[in-house]
């Protein structure tokens, strides 16, 4: 998998002055566009589109300083339709406009070319199982909240606190299959999972029962799920679990993520300092 990802990175590097199609990158990496975007953002720590933008402006910066092409020629070569649009993007990355950079020989910022390699530490293993589930419903309360990578998400906390105890009890009684009890369900995230972008969040249960009309419901088709378990400090261990799934488990196993909700079952200690977690990720077997 890492070798195929690196071939895709080579393709990006060879086409910085052309239109780069995500479908082409996914084909080179032998995976879906959906999984390629998620894999890249987890491994690289930034969205794919942002990496491509930074690499283009890094190479464009060298051409600006070289002075062999006009600024408009450089702008057009790297996909900008006007000198003004190029100048705005250039300044956002380098902190200085292209004209000033050329006149003064200003120091510019560089986005290094990325490649991926596997570092084997050998000190930890990931506990997981593969589950085939029939169609089910996610039933509960839903909100649109911003994504937070580290620490407690205040929008989610406020949303949960706004749900009355009687409503939570009614939701809980609907649980009739695993993962059991109240779960956190997230869906419709930005492909790059940029912090601050919005997502659908459900405080809900997994059920096969009919759902009362006053509750939010999401019907989830039958499919394959990878289920991961861990324990540790709350909420850091939960957030690190998602990161480890994409940076360690997917590159080492013949599965790719597929569209669908991600389900987190959390059982905290008294005082919420520690938690046991079970993370359900929709997957499909790649056969490679």
Q: Can you give the CATH number for the domain in which 31 is found?
A: 1.10.10.60
158-166 contacts: CB < 8 A, separation 24 or more? 159/201, 159/203, 160/203, 163/203
Q: What is the structure's pLDDT at 170?
A: 96
Asked if residue 263 lies in contact with residue 183, where contact means CB atoms within 8 angstroms, the answer is yes
* Percent share of the chain, pLDDT over 70: 93
Q: Is residue 114 part of a domain?
A: no
**How many domains does the chain contain in total?**
2
Q: Is the pLDDT of residue 122 over 50?
A: no
Structural domain range at position 65: 2-104
Q: Is residue 109 part of a domain?
A: no
Q: Is residue 193 part of a domain?
A: yes
Whether residue 144 is found in the same domain as residue 266? yes
Whether residue 275 is found in the same domain as residue 219? yes
Whether residue 68 is found in the same domain as residue 175? no
Say which residue, 196 or 71, is predicted with more confidence.
71
Domain CATH for 213: 3.20.80.10
Q: Is the pLDDT of residue 246 over 90?
A: no
Q: What is the structure's pLDDT at 217?
A: 97
Task: Give the end-to-end CA distance of the chain in Å, rounded to a whole number.
Answer: 9
Q: Is the pLDDT of residue 78 over 70?
A: yes
18, with CB counted inside 10 A (0-12, 13-18, 19+), is exposed
CA distance 254 to 250: 7
Q: Is residue 242 part of a domain?
A: yes
Of 119-133, 166-180, 190-204, 257-271, the least confident: 119-133
Q: Is the pLDDT of residue 41 over 50?
A: yes
* Percent share of the chain, pLDDT over 90: 55
Whether residue 28 is found in the same domain as residue 134? no
CB-CB neighbours of 34 under 10 Å: 16
Q: Is the pLDDT of residue 223 over 80?
A: yes
Whether residue 150 is found in the same domain as residue 250? yes
């Amino acid at each position: 998998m890492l070798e195929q990802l690196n071939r895709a990175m080579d393709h990006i590097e060879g086409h910085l002055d052309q239109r780069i199609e995500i479908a082409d990158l996914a084909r080179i990496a032998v995976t879906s566009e959906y999984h390629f975007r998620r894999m890249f953002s987890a491994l690289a720590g930034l969205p794919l589109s942002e990496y491509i933008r930074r690499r283009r402006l890094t190479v464009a910066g060298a051409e600006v300083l070289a002075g062999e092409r006009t600024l408009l020629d450089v702008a057009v070569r790297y996909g900008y339709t006007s000198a003004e649009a190029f100048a705005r993007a250039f300044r956002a990355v380098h902190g200085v406009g292209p004209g000033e950079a050329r006149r003064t020989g200003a120091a510019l910022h560089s986005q290094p070319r990325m490649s991926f390699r596997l570092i084997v530490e050998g000190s930890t293993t990931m506990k997981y199982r593969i589950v085939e589930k029939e169609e089910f419903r996610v039933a509960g309360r839903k909100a649109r909240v911003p994504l937070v990578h580290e620490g407690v998400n205040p929008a989610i906390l406020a949303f949960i606190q706004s749900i009355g105890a009687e409503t939570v009890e009614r939701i809980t009684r609907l649980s009739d299959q695993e993962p059991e009890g109240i779960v956190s369900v997230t869906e419709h995230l930005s492909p790059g999972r940029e912090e601050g972008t919005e997502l659908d969040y459900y405080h809900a249960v997994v059920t096969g029962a009919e759902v009362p009309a006053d509750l939010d419901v999401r019907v989830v088709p039958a499919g394959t799920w990878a289920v991961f378990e861990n324990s540790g400090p709350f909420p850091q261990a939960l957030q690190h679990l998602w990161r480890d799934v994409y940076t360690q488990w997917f590159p080492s196993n013949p599965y790719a993520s597929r569209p669908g909700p991600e389900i987190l079952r959390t059982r905290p200690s008294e005082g919420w300092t520690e938690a046991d977690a079970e993370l359900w990720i929709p997957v499909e077997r790649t056969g490679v």
